[in-house]
Amino acid sequence: MLRSLSVSCLLLMFPAWSAAAEPTVAELFQRVNESVVVLLTGDMTAPQEQGNTPTSIQGLGSGFLISADGLVMTAAHVVQSAEVIAARFANGDVVRARVVASAPAADVALVQVEKVPAGATVAALGDSDAAQVGDPVLVIGAPMGLSHSLSVGHLSARRISPDQFGGFVPVELLQTDAAINTGNSGGPMFDMSGKVIGIVSRILSRSGGFEGLGFAVASTVARKLLLEEPSAWSGLSGRMLEPDLAAVLNLPHETALLVEGVADGSPAALLGLRGGDVPADIGGTSMILGGDVILEVQGIRFDSAETAAQIQQALSTLGSDGVVAMTILRGGQQVRLTGHKSEIGLR
């Protein structure tokens, strides 16, 4: 009886002995920070006046290392049409990178760095399905260029976005009140076990800055689209035009894909696609006009989630000697573009 009472008193005095204490936010940051990278991108843009040379527009985003051989996960909009990509690690090393898989409709992408510096660590992808509203989360990235900045918040809600970046594919987004700003895109959202449950994608804001409404693509979505069923990189960034916008632009189809940007040397560029150069706002939707509008691919029109999936399936099963064919609208005229899959580098 005396022995049992003594043990009980000890447990009351030292409760940490009976259960492992959760790591602090500071401890978690130290554990995972070396997996986070800053992504620097460059795009060459046409001169505004005749006779001037092309200029380079610099972009900034974040990402995180998911494999020891140099695979980095990020947001598609950070790298999709970038002509030059570099990754800056926590120790300051900057290495070149290239896109190896991308799913723009879900805003997730995978890049391969040429070399992984000593000291860099690999982040583990967690199970976003197990996360619950109210769970604490950590976001690490480069807001406004301030690399390896930490913000802390909670999982505010789970959302299904039917039109992420103008796409047809429903995407699960994790809403958070952790501060997110320009430069955080593509960075990891960690749970309190140090696993990535979301890839930072966007914010909702009236001021242009963070207002407590940030969104990250669920890790289960990223795992499926980039690791289990990898989507080939096209080098094309664009926006699906729904019937209302298609009518405003006087398109022959109710839906189509507007080409906003094309990376130099990418499969889209080698096929002959051209991006736009005229920023516009139509009905509150910002877009880049002046580029091609894709009406059909492999004879399949863009008009629903099902046909978008059919187009992807048709291209993925096409042999290396198969011909990629699409009908586009350029300068008010329908034009047909074709190219062998192997010649344009489409994997």
Examine the residue annotation and report whether 156 is marked as an active-site residue of this protein: no
Cα distances (Å, whole numbers) of residue 25 to 33, 136, 140, 230: 12, 10, 12, 33
Examine the residue annotation and report whether 77 is marked as an active-site residue of this protein: yes
Which letter, b or e, does each residue of 133-167 get, where b requires 16 or more Cβ atoms within 10 Å of its Cβ? eeebbbbbbbbeeebbbbbbbebbeeeebeebbbb
Torsion over CA: 33, 93, 87, 60 (sign):
positive
- Tell how far CA 55 is from the center of its chain: 25
The single residue of 43, 62, 102, 107 carrying the catalytic annotation is: 107
d(CA 41, CA 296): 30
The single residue of 77, 128, 201, 234 carrying the catalytic annotation is: 77
The single residue of 62, 185, 219, 266 carrying the catalytic annotation is: 185
Structural contact between residues 108 and 216, judged by C-beta atoms closer than 8 angstroms? no
d(CA 110, CA 103): 9
Three-state DSSP at 216 gives strand
Examine the residue annotation and report whether 185 is marked as an active-site residue of this protein: yes
d(CA 58, CA 39): 11
What are the tokens at 300?
């399949």
Residues taking part in catalysis: 77, 107, 185
